[in-house]
Structure 1
Amino acid sequence: MENSSSSEEALHVVMFPYFAFGHISPFVQLSNRLCAHGVKVSFLSAPGNISRIKSTLKLTPDAQIIPLQIPQVEGLPPGLESTSDMTPAMAELLKQAIDLMQPHITTLLSQLKPHFVFFDFAQHWLPKLASQLGIKTLRFSVFATISDAYIMVPARQHNSSSTSTSTTIDDLMRPPNGFPVAHNIALKEFEARDFSYVFMRFHGNPSVYERVLDCLNSCTAIVNKSCMEMEGPYVDFLRTQFQKPVLLTGPLVPEPPSGELDHKWVHWLGQFPAKSVIYCSFGSETFLNQDQIKELALGLELTGLPFFLVLNFPANTNPQTELARALPDGFMERIQNKGVVHTGWVQQQLILAHQSVGCYVFHSGYSSVIEGLVSDCQLVLLPLKGDQYLNSKLVAGVEDMRTGVEVKRREESGGFGREDVMEAVKTVMVDVDKKPGVSIRANQSKWRQFLLNREIQDKFIADLVQALQGLKSLC
């Protein structure tokens, strides 16, 4: 690949994601693409995360990983260095520990002397610190732009009836002033209740909203994992709100999976016709409760289609015990020839890419949306927390991508039943194009072609590097 900065001084950037793999992975993906365009990358993370980062970061002379020691905080056990091993209370203490890293980060940046630091939501103190060293800062959001546009903007504060730390459920059910009205986005009561966490303070520390707003107000430029084709109105709204550059990386389409699928899964999937199997998974840090697992499992059974259900459980629980409590009596016996229930890690990309898999039921994580589309799966969305609710509206919205269907939920509780799961799957697998004027399958095909167009996706990074070269020279 031609070096994008061959005629200018090579850029050097530091990557500093939050210590959660849902955050680390997009930073790694962006690092790999920047390195391919001649950008030098120094990647910061805790020692416990480095072996996993090494498995995906393409280590070259232009890419290095630098370990960071997490300061001790009472209540945060030593050695826990990723949120995947933490309770929610520990994750709040992790933010406190990150705040204590400022002297160490100052020393490191003084030694590295990068042009830019790409940083995450928790390090709201970084822009001021870096500015004193003559280093520019880029707040990189690993979420869809719609999430920042709906929640993390000054207008959210201005049209609230209360302070940022006590924003009400009613406030959150309404979009902020100036939000693109044509897109008719609003949160249900249970979704707004979940988002209220963003405005809470713990241990006297800033709320997530206060951290993010500080990041966005103080950074040199905002960088989003998106593109105008997918989220143009929300990008424009963000630019209006913060009056500074909003740069786009594109959706950071994952590389094709390497290696071979485990023989037992090849054999099991190979029993079924092309595009007939439902693959269902909620990532490593999104957990269903017992009632949700029961209704989901029975809903998949009701479809009459073969399915592969992956369930994970919080740290410090026994997955097999939890599974036995949640699954209905006799369920495993009934699905013996047509269903798999699995706990723990699986080769997700390779499973999604298998010719027998045709439907993906999942939590609407943004990276998973892209993964499902690239793998040519019909999307059934079952968001369970935070940004997933807004991702689902983006993907299923008639005015937006309209390339999937969300499982129907109760307005107040967010509950769903087995019939709701069955109906959503039936809509994308059987009745997908029966509604006049709305072709989910055609939209899915269109977005898949867009995401797999390497020339288009590579241009997003080339344009980003060019914009950084322009920003670098500004005082």
Structure 2
Amino acid sequence: MASTGDSGEALHVVMFPYFAFGHISPFVQLSNRLCVHGIKVSFFSAPANISRIKSTLKLTPQAQIIPLHIPQIEGLPQGLDSTSDMTPAMAELLKQAIDLMQPQITTLLSQLKPHFVFFDFAQHWLPKLASQLGIKTLRFSVFATVSDAYLMVPPRQDSNTIDDLMRPPNGFPSRNIALKEFEARDFLYVFMSFHGKPSVYERVLECLNSCTAIVNKTCNEMEGPYVDFMRTQYQKPILLTGPLVPEPPSDELDHKWSDWLGQFQAKSVIFCSFGSETFLSKEQIRELALGLELTGLPFLVVLNFPANTNGEIEIGRALPDGFMERVENRGVVHTGWIQQQLILAHKSVGCYVFHSGYSSVIEGLVNDCQLVLLPLKGDQYINSKLVAGDMRAGVEVKRREESGHFGKEDVVEAVKTVMMEVDKEPGVSIRANQNRWREFLLNHEIQNKFIADLVEGLKALNV
């Protein structure tokens, strides 16, 4: 049954994510769930992203993809339509190009006349533009709410030095979240202006101040105190999508991987992956590799590298001498795309060493993997503290306070903590908590209710 607006017509929403697949994917997941409730979805993205979006967006009569033209900017090659193919400098130019899309977006919204636009952090100009057309705007954050609560609040306007960022803002509801020096230093980027344009912080703050309502990819069970804190900061409605648990893939695992994984005992293999846009340094690769070797467990490591570099060559330069020979029968190092969800779901995989990306946290939990958190940039640092601290569902690799250095011993210790833990008191151990969160995330009745409640919230806003 279609969800209708105040005029009786089906609710129509536009999805306008930033052009990075870590952003696009949650918008697709949300779109699929809204379509089930009869909501019409028009999905905006650049042409080169559309084939990949089509592979996951359920193209029913309720959903359509609308291509956008990225305006030409000097230094940003034409045809590069997502950050996965860009250098960091190009990604900054992409934000400039998005700012130049306002006339194009005005025309499309005037034609489509949606009830709502779900939009991302970069389009700080969208609420004003849409309001002039009588369209309501929803700032949809693909990050954990704790990250926005720690960083993207008004007090940070005057409190954004390294020392400031090592401490949470006044009124922040948790003692588990505080940054080390190297983590705070990394967050200085959020407050930097490039080419005289607004910083990430300035964009987000304007988005949050100007939108009709805020939509967060979370639930009260996981982040209730942080949702409440954001309400006090912005004094406007906050709707929750739930954690958007991914649906199981419909394809099968390639024989190459199923045959290799099938050699090992259940829950004995370590799978290690950092996504397509998070890169380890040569020293970090070396210490990670040596640490995995010292665990004595079988492992599969996926390493990726910045655009315009040869992954195979970079791996050869980074791995310790003789490493591949020593782990020949139990270790594989891979670069490039891999069937991550299917590998995590394989019965032999029991431990997931990863960058603490929010979507990856959910994937690891639902596939019954013990979580070893090795954050490397941005919101990953705060996600890791949420999972290891508040949720007690994983363990973070120990790092040096100033440099962020970790050694092979730190990797071994973290893996052994989750893989060899013995439950002494039910409900207290990491393993017991991990299992409790897994059951929560796999409860379809609970997860479906999050979307049903969101739809009711949209109807209320549309009155």
Per-residue deviation, residues 21-61 of structure 1 (Å, max 9, x unmatched): 00000000000000011000000000010000000000011
Match of 1:324 among 316, 323, 337: 316
Q: Does 1:55 align with 2:47?
A: no
Q: Does 1:360 align with 2:352?
A: yes
Q: Secondary structure of the residue that 2:147 maps to in structure 1?
A: helix
The residue aligned with 1:89 is: 89
Q: Does 1:401 align with 2:391?
A: yes
Partner Cα separation in structure 1 for residue 155 and residue 9 of structure 2: 39
Q: Percent identity?
A: 84
Do the aligned partners of 1:75 and 1:90 also contact (CA within 8 Å) in 2? yes
Q: Does 1:287 align with 2:288?
A: no
| Shift in Å, 1:433 | 3.7
| Shift in Å, 1:240 | 0.4
Do the aligned partners of 2:176 and 2:386 also contact (CA within 8 Å) in 1? no
Structure 1 vs Structure 2 CA RMSD: 1.3
The residue aligned with 1:44 is: 44
The residue aligned with 2:296 is: 304
Per-residue deviation, residues 121-166 of structure 1 (Å, max 9, x unmatched): 00000000000000000000000000000000012225x2xxxxxx
The residue aligned with 2:73 is: 73
Partner Cα separation in structure 2 for residue 282 and residue 435 of structure 1: 32
The residue aligned with 2:441 is: 451
Amino acid in the other structure paired with 2:395: V
Do the aligned partners of 2:252 and 2:342 also contact (CA within 8 Å) in 1? yes
Amino acid in the other structure paired with 1:413: S
Q: Secondary structure of the residue that 2:371 maps to in structure 1?
A: strand
Do the aligned partners of 1:156 and 1:177 also contact (CA within 8 Å) in 2? no
Per-residue deviation, residues 230-268 of structure 1 (Å, max 9, x unmatched): 000000000000000010000000001211111121111
Q: Does 1:391 align with 2:383?
A: yes
Do the aligned partners of 2:352 and 2:364 also contact (CA within 8 Å) in 1? yes
Aligned runs of 1:75-154 on 2, under 5 Å?
Answer: 75-154=75-154
| Shift in Å, 1:455 | 0.7
Q: Secondary structure of the residue that 2:278 maps to in structure 1?
A: coil
Q: TM-score, normalising length from structure 1?
A: 0.96
Per-residue deviation, residues 159-185 of structure 1 (Å, max 9, x unmatched): x2xxxxxx31001111011111x4342
Do the aligned partners of 1:18 and 1:24 also contact (CA within 8 Å) in 2? yes
Amino acid in the other structure paired with 1:178: G
* Structure 2: runs of 5+ lacking an equivalent: none
Per-residue deviation, residues 425-472 of structure 1 (Å, max 9, x unmatched): 000000354699831111111100110011110110110011101101
The residue aligned with 2:227 is: 235
Q: Secondary structure of the residue that 1:134 maps to in structure 2?
A: coil
| Shift in Å, 1:379 | 0.2
99-108 or 7-16, which moves further after superposition? 7-16
Partner Cα separation in structure 1 for residue 274 and residue 161 of structure 2: 28
Q: Does 1:178 align with 2:168?
A: no
The residue aligned with 1:19 is: 19
Q: Secondary structure of the residue that 1:183 maps to in structure 2?
A: coil
Distance 1:449 1:437, change over 3 A: closer
Partner Cα separation in structure 1 for residue 426 and residue 166 of structure 2: 30
The residue aligned with 1:278 is: 270
Partner Cα separation in structure 2 for residue 454 and residue 3 of structure 1: 21
| Shift in Å, 1:298 | 0.5
Partner Cα separation in structure 1 for residue 268 and residue 330 of structure 2: 11
Q: Secondary structure of the residue that 2:332 maps to in structure 1?
A: strand
Partner Cα separation in structure 2 for residue 432 and residue 241 of structure 1: 42
Partner Cα separation in structure 2 for residue 28 and residue 375 of structure 1: 21
Partner Cα separation in structure 2 for residue 359 and residue 380 of structure 1: 7
Partner Cα separation in structure 2 for residue 178 and residue 449 of structure 1: 32
Distance 1:435 1:425, change over 3 A: farther
Partner Cα separation in structure 2 for residue 100 and residue 199 of structure 1: 22
Amino acid in the other structure paired with 1:179: F
